Structure 1
Amino acid sequence: MHRLPGLDLLRAIAIVWVMLFHSYIVGGLGPDFAWLSRYGWAGVDIFFVLSGFLIGGQVLRPLQRGERLAFGEFYTRRAWRIVPAFAVVLAAYVWFPACREAPGMQPWWQFATFSMNLLIDYGSNQAFSHAWSLCVEEHFYLVFPLLAWWLTRRPSMRKFAGVCVGVMVLGIVLRSAVWLHDAAIDPPRNWFIEDIYYPTWMRLDGLLLGIVLAALRVYRPLLWTRWQTYANAALAGGVVVTGVAFWLFRERAGLLGNAIGWPVLSFGFALLVFAGADRRSPIGRWRVPGAGWLAAVSYSLYLSHKIAFHLVQVTFGAALQGHAALAFATYAAAVLLLGAALHYLVERPCLRLRERRSPQAPAALETMAS
């Protein structure tokens, strides 16, 4: 399988960052290392940009060649990729409440239908709540192929740009309006999470910027190649823009960040993904030991890491208090072991079954999202 080290590195950073952020459920990393996890929620947005880029390429490539889009094959491949490991973890949460990092949990059918992010009562049901981002991804998988097919029936750069600008502006307007409304009435619930942070229509910026990259690569390959000569500048620009976004999000639930912070953050990450897709950039040619493995098992780690945190806490939490280094190593080992078990025992065998059923592989770059 042909892989790009730069995108593997970004995926590895994203999953580690998310897990560090979620360490708050076991007391966090302590004041000396809180800076490592403060913006860890942004790892999800790296995944969104990567998904938009990689899945966007899978969908747009046959359309660019004038071929019919095999909707059934696309949805079936996505199901084989997503559902088996997710079903195992969901069953553990439903059937074994002792695995839950929080007592309350939304009804199982909301997870099974990927509607949990739209219906959650976050104040009462926080267990497995990180599945909200998977719900966003599933909605993207469902809608984007249809939208891409419609847009490419009569290809028009003006129409594509109009849709992209419209989605981004609509997101800014919706988030701003909801924030101002909820802040004014201050309902007795976590309205930031339920009304702004989790709903799919509020979180399209990263996916959109990834799709823009995919469209550029597929429909303007010469321009893509020419611009890739500036990958180092894109990398530097991505770091700067991401820093600006974090400044906007210095108050994470504030109006400024949630109005314009998401498109700025997504643009910064899109620049990093663009740089990572070129083997001549520093991150594109740098094979960091372990990054490829973390990227490969990132989905299983994402699904299971809170279970690992919780089980270590209830089993060894008291003994680990006051031993920061040992605690970090124990939690990390448990997360990696459980994630690896899920990957090698469930996720990978199901992917092999999928390939036996449908052996044709996507284009080289897109195999990382397959």
Structure 2
Amino acid sequence: MHPLQSARFHGLDTLRSVAIVAVMLFHLQDVLPEKMVLVEQYGWMGVDLFFVLSGFLIGNQLLKSYANGEKFSISLFYQRRMFRIVPAYVAVLLLYLWVPAWREEPGLAPAWEFFTFTENIFFQPQYRAFSHAWSLCVEEHFYLILPLLVMAMMRRRSFRRTSYLLAFVVAFGLAARAVAITHITDRYFVRIYYQTYMRLDGLSVGVTLALVKNFRPQWWKSLSRHGHASLLSGMVLVLAVMWMFRNNGLGKLTGSPAWGTVVGYPLLACGLGLIVASSLSTEGLLNRYRIPGTQLLATLAFSLYLTHKEIVHMDQIYFPTLTVGRSFEASVVFLTTCFAAAGVLHLLIERPFMQLRDMVESRSSRSAEERMRAEPAL
């Protein structure tokens, strides 16, 4: 089996599972047992892992066409992303708009911000319902712009020029955060954390991996031969960033967390990029061993992302005696209902529209679940 195919079922499944679990733990930290506080504190890094995965997977789709001398269809690319993202997203958004009890917070941003994927740009603290859509907005901006950049850069193909562009994007984000951190006294999430141009580090690192894979195959082979070293190096960088944001420092504007805001995001992206590279290596532990349950988690990742906050909110309304306190029993209820709701959304919306996409494209070589796990989860 080709290494990337194997990684899709093992390494990337594992990382996608880690990412969605981390995000859920972070969002639900107020209702989960206090013993999990260390895991909950750093769960926000799951979004950055999603960004690196998306950058690699989408970048690989686009760059592989040019590397193989094939014709690239930008309309087909946008069509595929629309079938993958929009149906489930709109289904959940309509619940937010039409069923007020569905909202985990009372304030909801104007509908046009969600339909145009600009909720992260215009986010206001009083509108917290469905605020986790901010990361999907960032990804959609990426999906919109990257194909156009790739088409422009591939007219006069230059690995060095493309590398400079990616380095500039990371450097721009670093400089923008450095300026912002010295001029704001509050509203960290509004002005820094949610803004697309501040959060391109992970996506850029993922695209860089795809660029190396397709246009520097010898470099990629060398990286693949050192899967264990990549994993260890990536973990060291991630631990360094965790130290920067220690003591629940995300959002703080002084001391180590301030430095973490400036340099921590690119360091985290590099660390996660090395871990992703390890997951694609035939010599890497993540690719070699299949962890039970990760395939299911990877398949349901997008549906879980869209619904977990709302489902826990509904649990607290309709099962108050079962979800009182931060108990293990309440966590079981939350886990069960979140998976049930994600399964329903997946079976009723996600998979049928992926199958419809196959019919439109007249291809059916793999199952819908396999294709979903081969693409970004957001």
TM range (shorter): over 0.9
TM-score w.r.t. the length of structure 1 is 0.93
1:18-66, Cα deviation, whole Å (9 max, x unpaired): 0011113xx3323322112111011000000000000100011112223
Q: Any unmatched runs of 5+ in structure 2?
A: none
Please say if residues 101 and 306 of structure 1, whose CA atoms lie closer than 8 Å, have aligned partners that are also in contact: yes
Please say if residues 55 and 366 of structure 1, whose CA atoms lie closer than 8 Å, have aligned partners that are also in contact: no
- What is the DSSP-based 3-state SS (H/G/I as helix, E as strand, rest coil) of the residue aligned with 1:117? coil
Q: Check 1:87–1:322 CA distance in 2 against 1; reply closer, same or farther (3 A cut).
A: closer
CA distance in 1, matches of 2:219, 2:322: 58
Percent of paired sites with the same residue: 40
Q: Please, which of 288, 304, 309 is the counterpart of residue 307 of structure 2?
A: 304
Please say if residues 11 and 47 of structure 1, whose CA atoms lie closer than 8 Å, have aligned partners that are also in contact: yes
CA distance in 1, matches of 2:128, 2:196: 18
Q: Check 1:66–1:322 CA distance in 2 against 1; reply closer, same or farther (3 A cut).
A: closer
Instruction: Tell me the residue number matched to 1:335.
Output: 338
Q: Please, which of 5, 11, 14 is the counterpart of residue 9 of structure 1?
A: 14
CA distance in 1, matches of 2:234, 2:313: 35
1:359 Cα deviation after fit: 3.3
Q: Check 1:330–1:290 CA distance in 2 against 1; reply closer, same or farther (3 A cut).
A: same
Instruction: Tell me the residue number matched to 2:204.
Output: 208
1:298-323, Cα deviation, whole Å (9 max, x unpaired): 00110011111100011223443257
Please say if residues 4 and 277 of structure 1, whose CA atoms lie closer than 8 Å, have aligned partners that are also in contact: no
Give the RMSD, CA atoms, in angstroms: 1.9
- What is the DSSP-based 3-state SS (H/G/I as helix, E as strand, rest coil) of the residue aligned with 2:184? helix
Instruction: Tell me the residue number matched to 1:257.
Output: 260
Please say if residues 31 and 325 of structure 2, whose CA atoms lie closer than 8 Å, have aligned partners that are also in contact: no
Q: Check 1:202–1:118 CA distance in 2 against 1; reply closer, same or farther (3 A cut).
A: same
Q: Check 1:66–1:367 CA distance in 2 against 1; reply closer, same or farther (3 A cut).
A: farther
Please say if residues 241 and 268 of structure 1, whose CA atoms lie closer than 8 Å, have aligned partners that are also in contact: yes
Aligned runs of 1:90-169 on 2, under 5 Å?
90-122=93-125, 124-169=126-171
Give the counterpart letter for 1:49 in structure 2. Answer: V
Please say if residues 10 and 288 of structure 2, whose CA atoms lie closer than 8 Å, have aligned partners that are also in contact: yes
- What is the DSSP-based 3-state SS (H/G/I as helix, E as strand, rest coil) of the residue aligned with 1:275? helix
1:56-105, Cα deviation, whole Å (9 max, x unpaired): 00011112223332000000000000000001000000000101000001
1:218-250, Cα deviation, whole Å (9 max, x unpaired): 112232122211011001111111000111222
Please say if residues 209 and 267 of structure 1, whose CA atoms lie closer than 8 Å, have aligned partners that are also in contact: yes
- What is the DSSP-based 3-state SS (H/G/I as helix, E as strand, rest coil) of the residue aligned with 1:309? helix
1:361 Cα deviation after fit: 7.5
1:155 Cα deviation after fit: 1.4
TM-score w.r.t. the length of structure 2 is 0.92
Please say if residues 171 and 202 of structure 1, whose CA atoms lie closer than 8 Å, have aligned partners that are also in contact: yes
Aligned runs of 1:315-326 on 2, under 5 Å?
315-322=318-325, 324-326=327-329
Instruction: Tell me the residue number matched to 1:45.
Output: 48
Please say if residues 89 and 303 of structure 1, whose CA atoms lie closer than 8 Å, have aligned partners that are also in contact: yes
Please say if residues 212 and 220 of structure 2, whose CA atoms lie closer than 8 Å, have aligned partners that are also in contact: yes
Instruction: Tell me the residue number matched to 2:279.
Output: 276
CA distance in 1, matches of 2:287, 2:16: 13
- What is the DSSP-based 3-state SS (H/G/I as helix, E as strand, rest coil) of the residue aligned with 1:76? helix
1:90-139, Cα deviation, whole Å (9 max, x unpaired): 000000010100000101111000000000112x1000000000000100
Instruction: Tell me the residue number matched to 2:347.
Output: 344
Please say if residues 6 and 279 of structure 1, whose CA atoms lie closer than 8 Å, have aligned partners that are also in contact: no
Q: Any unmatched runs of 5+ in structure 1?
A: none
Please say if residues 361 and 367 of structure 1, whose CA atoms lie closer than 8 Å, have aligned partners that are also in contact: no
CA distance in 2, matches of 1:247, 1:322: 30
Instruction: Tell me the residue number matched to 1:233.
Output: 229
Instruction: Tell me the residue number matched to 1:369.
Output: 375
CA distance in 2, matches of 1:8, 1:64: 26
Instruction: Tell me the residue number matched to 1:288.
Output: 291
Q: Check 1:40–1:288 CA distance in 2 against 1; reply closer, same or farther (3 A cut).
A: same
CA distance in 2, matches of 1:289, 1:129: 31
Please say if residues 315 and 323 of structure 2, whose CA atoms lie closer than 8 Å, have aligned partners that are also in contact: no
Q: Does 1:197 align with 2:203?
A: no
Moved more, 48-57 or 276-285: 276-285
Aligned runs of 1:49-68 on 2, under 5 Å?
49-68=52-71
CA distance in 2, matches of 1:86, 1:63: 31
CA distance in 2, matches of 1:341, 1:97: 20
CA distance in 1, matches of 2:228, 2:293: 23
Give the counterpart letter for 1:47 in structure 2. Answer: F
1:296 Cα deviation after fit: 0.9
Please say if residues 298 and 373 of structure 2, whose CA atoms lie closer than 8 Å, have aligned partners that are also in contact: no
Please say if residues 67 and 214 of structure 2, whose CA atoms lie closer than 8 Å, have aligned partners that are also in contact: yes
CA distance in 1, matches of 2:333, 2:250: 30
